[in-house]
Amino acid sequence: MFTNKEEFKQIFQNNVVSKLGKPLNEVSSEDVYTILSRMMREFAGREWASTNQELRQDAEKQVYYLSLEFLIGRLLGNNLLNMGMLEMVKSGLDDLGISLEEIEEQEADAGLGNGGLGRLAACFLDSLASLGYAGHGCGIRYRYGLFEQKIVDGNQVELPDDWLQKGFEWEVRRADRKIEVRFGGYVETREADGELYFSLRDYEAVWAIPYDVPVIGYRGNQPDYHVNTLRLWSAEPVPEMANRNLGGAGNYYSYLNYNRSVESISEFLYPDDSHYEGRLLRLKQQYFLCSAGLQSILRTYDKLNLSYDQLPDKIAIHINDTHPTLVIPELMRILVDEKGYGWDKAWNIVCRTVSYTNHTILSEALEKWPAQMIRDLIPRVYMVIDEINKRFCKVLMEKYPDDPERVAHMAIIFDDQVKMAHLAIAGSYSINGVAALHTDILKEREMRNFYELYPERFNNKTNGITHRRWLMHANPELNDLITESIGSRWKTHPKELVSILKYSEDAAFQSKIAAIKKHNKQRLAQYIEQKYGTPVNTDSIFDVQIKRLHAYKRQLLNILHVMYLYNQIKSMPSLNMVPRTFIFGAKAAPGYYLAKNTIKLINRVASVVNNDPDVKDKLNVFFLENYSVSLAEKIIPAADISEQISTASKEASGTGNMKLMMNGALTIGTMDGANVEMYEMLGDDNMFIFGLNADEVMDYYQHGGYSARDVYNSDPRIKEVVDQLITPGPFASNTYEFASLYQSLIDGNDEYFMLKDFDSYAESHVQIEAAYRNQQVWLKKSIHNIAHSGKFSSDRTIQQYASEIWKIHPVQG
Ligand code: 26W
């Protein structure tokens, strides 16, 4: 292809002319994006093929990461970076008068995920490929990703995310590798030679068509790079099925309707995170992914001509939360019904192949499916689950003969509900939490009974983020400064970021860090000014809370504190304070009223403070609409303060906290999730910790003793802001528009302890202001944050999964 800039320019221009039939000066940015990404995809194709060939030859153990979500975002910039071509292409395009940054903006975000869990999967893919592991993603090619958020009159409105409209240049449709997935029907049982045989009859088959996306590993200084595969499945009708389904009497419209109903399986991503809803279509999605993914994995395995006894030595299947748990009974079904295995041997293989990560302890997020729904949709799989349950309960009854209550609690099927977490634990050899505190809570509380039964299965893998996207690509100036100062080894050994500590008090280094932050703030300010028409003071502290909107994440605490600052300024207009810009980005699940009401409140406070002449030079609030991976890449490098203020014990890990830390923001946070591990490294000097800790919170939940009303009555600052929610005045225009928030705090006794933590939160903000006034001290803290963020690279996380769970090794290239 090309090895230098001039060659690149030549080939690029040839492509423009031959593929578009236009001279370069007539092509749009969108055209350039299409041509460039297609070129790079084809270029990567060679390495992709060569990695695949190596994998076939080496027969190295491979891991498949099954996930209903992959929140990958844009690929062009990151792929160029990983291929080692970013600089060459950028400067070649510059010569042609084209800005790469503008071209990157043309790419639609692949938003095939809700938030933390989906973005984690995408970071893991990047690390797996960059470390040279054979590790592939397996997911669904949703026709519509996470909804696009518009703010209309302060309210969230959801629009479909038509991300494929202009085509997705990185994917390759592989119709030749399609898989049949079977739904419905009934199970026919036959007996022969004393054995039972099961066949599914009258089922409905659909095609699962794979679309493969290359996952390009970072090449560093190596001559070639490793390319794994993210295989995304799309549902298509099997033509004969329509006929059968319609009794041979269908008309044109009924055929079309039938096709549509099949395609609906992969039509859209469910926009709920942290709230489980037992929808049939969602269950179909889960089985569709598990069955197609597994059959395709086994088809590849079959080429090795090995016995299935060796499956666990060659293949690891990891399930991202319980959403793909059906892979467990599906693998049992295939081994028993199709490969002739007896139950015990098959179960042993399954339990040595599957591993599971838990991402939340919120009880409303735990998946429970009505038994009848599973029985109707996938009858044979249900029989298998039923049998797994019976045998599991038998083991439990033998172990705990005097404790039927414990057995009932731990059963997989209870009260006509299938508990997916129990099935996932029973059928896997490893169960991990995503931060030390979260894993402790799983072991000691949420999954205590299971931990007592299988202590050796439980382990922690603290989350991480890819420093390639979140530092090297999102913050190129910081990338350059670090590399100039300590060399480039940190790019492949991110813990070596710690070497910049020696410059933490170096005035020249500090001022460069300050200049980079300032520049990033200017870029974000420009984006905000352009989009919303409001000027942004880049000398103010950029205080950022970006994440899904949920009561436990406490955006409401943040905005109540902003209201308090407003009240303070109004009562004392001469107040000498460092100007603050509070920035929010958050999507609420479409049916989550309290979350939507919080968005409305944030927007109301924004319009009040930004337009009040007494206040607007000191305090600004922006709610940036449609928070997404690409927007995060603009906000994070510009942040001074990172808000990680969840009710302690509720945030399993958090990963935004890590991204912001890596970009030099200081955290104000609770002792929750991975904040705890950040604090271990940073201490009180470099982090602002406040509020109840997890034990205190769980103690209140268990024993009571918290009265929100008492706190409200005893703290006039709190009383004032809470009353402002239901009193027509600066913020509320009537008594009811924010009444739900008021009620959740006062009548609902503030389930997430916002009022309880308000005072220490406000106090931490006072400390932030004092610290910011001394820029040298501030910059030192900021450098400490960057320096210690290497631990939170997903490279470290993936190395731990690889050696401690999957037992895989890098492929020797
Ligand atoms: C069934 C509906 C549903 C959908 C998604 C329930 C729960 C989820 C996810 C488990 C929610 C999620 O994204 N959890 C987040 O996972 C991140 C990656 O481990 C953690 O960093 C976050 O703390 C956790 O909230």
Share above pLDDT 90 across residues of the chain, in percent, rounded to a whole number: 93
Please name which of 598, 602, 609, 601 lies closest in space to residue 534, comparing C-alpha atoms. Answer: 609
Three-state secondary structure call for residue 61? coil
Question: How big is the CA angle at 810 (ends 807 and 813), to the nearest 5 degrees?
Answer: 150
Query: What span, in angstroms and rounded, lies between the C-alpha atoms of 20 and 166?
Result: 15
Strand partners, 542: 581
Least confidently predicted of 54-58, 192-196, 396-400: 54-58
Beta bridge partners of residue 149, listed in sequence order: 158
Place of tokens 């590798």: 177
Reading the block at residue 546, the tokens are 């970006």
Taking a C-beta distance cutoff of 8 angstroms, is the pair 135, 63 a contact? yes
CA–centroid distance for 432 within its chain: 17
Report yes or no: 377 and 284 within 8 Å, Cβ to Cβ.
Answer: yes
Q: List C-alpha distances in Å: 239 to 130, 206, 207.
A: 41, 9, 10
Would you say residue 547 has pLDDT above 80? Answer: yes
Identify the band that residue 300 occupies on the pLDDT scale cut at 50, 70 and 90.
very high
Tell me which of 41, 74, 461, 553 is the catalytic residue: 553
166 annotated active-site: no
Cβ of 420 less than 6 Å from ligand 1: no
Q: Could you give the CA distance from residue 472 to residue 21 in angstroms, rounded to a whole number?
A: 36
At 224 the pLDDT is: 84
3-state secondary structure (DSSP) of residue 652? coil
Which one of the listed residues 461, 467, 512, 548 is annotated catalytic? 548
Q: Which of 325, 655, 667, 797 is catalytic?
A: 655
Alpha carbon of 430 to ligand 1 centroid (Å): 19
Please give the average per-residue pLDDT across 483-511, as a whole number. Answer: 98
Q: How many CA atoms lie within 13 A of 419 on its CB side?
A: 17
- Nearest atom within ligand 1 for CA of residue 365: 6
Q: Measured between alpha carbons, how far is 289 from 208 in angstroms, rounded to an integer?
A: 9
Rounded Cα distance between 751 and 732, Å, is 23
Q: By three-state DSSP, how is residue 231 classified?
A: strand
The pair phi, psi for residue 462, each rounded to 5°, is -65, 130
462: closest CA among 786, 791, 68?
A: 791
Active site residue 719: no
Q: How does the average pLDDT of the chain come out, rounded?
A: 96
Question: Which tens digits make up the pLDDT trace of 378-393?
Answer: 999 999 999 999 999 9
Give yes or no for residue 247 having a pLDDT over 90: no
**How remote is the CA of residue 317 from the centroid of ligand 1, in Å?**
19
**pLDDT higher than 80, residue 630:** yes
Cα 303 to ligand 1 centre (Å): 36
The phi, psi pair for 749, rounded to 5°, reads 55, 35
Length of the chain: 813
User: Does residue 116 line the site of ligand 1, with CB under 6 A?
Assistant: yes
Q: Measuring from atom 1 of ligand 1, which residue has the nearest CA? A: 276
Cβ neighbours, 10 Å, residue 190? 9
Verify whether ligand 1 is closer than 6 Å to residue 651 (CB atom).
yes
Report the C-alpha dihedral over residues 339, 342, 348, 350, rounded to 10 degrees. 40
pLDDT at 245: 77
Query: Ligand 1: which residue has its CA nearest to atom 4?
Result: 273
Percent of the chain with pLDDT over 70: 100
State in Å: Cα 275 to ligand 1 middle.
10
Q: What is the pLDDT of residue 279?
A: 96
Farthest CA pair distance, the chain: 93
pLDDT, residue 223, reads 75
Q: Is the distance from CB of 215 to CB of 228 less than 8 angstroms?
A: yes
Ordered domains of the chain (ranges, CATH) = 482-692+739-797 (3.40.50.2000)
Other C-beta atoms lying within 10 Å of the C-beta of residue 198 = 15
| CA–CA separation, 450 and 319 (whole Å) | 18
In the reported structure, the alpha carbon of residue 18 is separated from the centroid of ligand 1 by a whole-number distance in angstroms of 46
Q: Classify 185 in phi/psi space as left (phi over 0), alpha (psi -120 to 50) or beta.
A: left
> Which candidate in 90, 457, 659, 791 is catalytic?
659
The yes-or-no verdict on residue 813 having pLDDT over 70 is no
| Side chain identity at residue 229, one-letter code | T
Distance CA 671, CA 74 (A): 33
**Ligand 1 geometric centre to CA of 783 (Å):** 30
Q: State the Cα–Cα distance between residues 211 and 231, nearest whole angstrom.
A: 6
Give the H or E element holding residue 80: helix 76-83
Question: Would you state the pLDDT for residue 615?
Answer: 97
pLDDT at 255: 87
Q: Which of 200, 393, 179 is nearest to 297 (CA)?
A: 179
**pLDDT grade for 254, boundaries at 50, 70 and 90:** confident
Which of 71, 117, 358 to mutate for ligand 1's pocket (most ligand atoms within 8 Å of CB)? 117
Binned at pLDDT 50, 70 and 90, residue 761 comes out as very high
Cross-strand pairs, 191: 196
State how far the Cα of 442 lies from the Cα of 652, in Å rounded to an integer. Answer: 10
Residue 483 falls in the annotated catalytic set: no
How is residue 73 written in tokens?
Answer: 């975002």
The one catalytic residue among 9, 226, 323, 359: 359
Q: Which residue has the tokens 């395609």?
A: 263
pLDDT at res. 103:
98
Q: How far is the CA of 462 from the centre of ligand 1 (A)?
A: 14
Active site residue 422: no
Q: 275 falls in which pLDDT band (50, 70, 90)?
A: confident
Q: How does strand 580-585 pair with strand 541-546?
A: parallel
Q: What are the DSSP E strand ranges found in 591-748?
A: 619-623, 641-644, 666-669, 688-689
pLDDT, one tens digit per residue, over 306-324 is 999 999 999 999 999 999 9
Q: What is the pLDDT of residues 715-727, one digit of tens each?
A: 999 999 999 999 9
Helices (H) and strands (E) in the chain, counts: 33, 25
In the residue annotation, 548 being an active-site residue is answered as: yes
Buried b (16+ CB within 10 A) or exposed e, 567-580: ebbeeeeeeeeeeb
Amino acid at position 516, single letter: I
CA separation for the pair 76, 203 (Å, rounded): 42
Residue 533, burial from CB neighbour count under 10 angstroms (0-12, 13-18, 19+): exposed
> Which residue, by CA, sits nearest to atom 5 of ligand 1?
273
Q: 656 with 665: CB under 8 angstroms? A: no
Q: What is the tens place of the pLDDT at every residue in 595-611?
A: 999 999 999 999 999 99
Distance separating alpha carbons of residues 714 and 231, to the nearest angstrom: 57
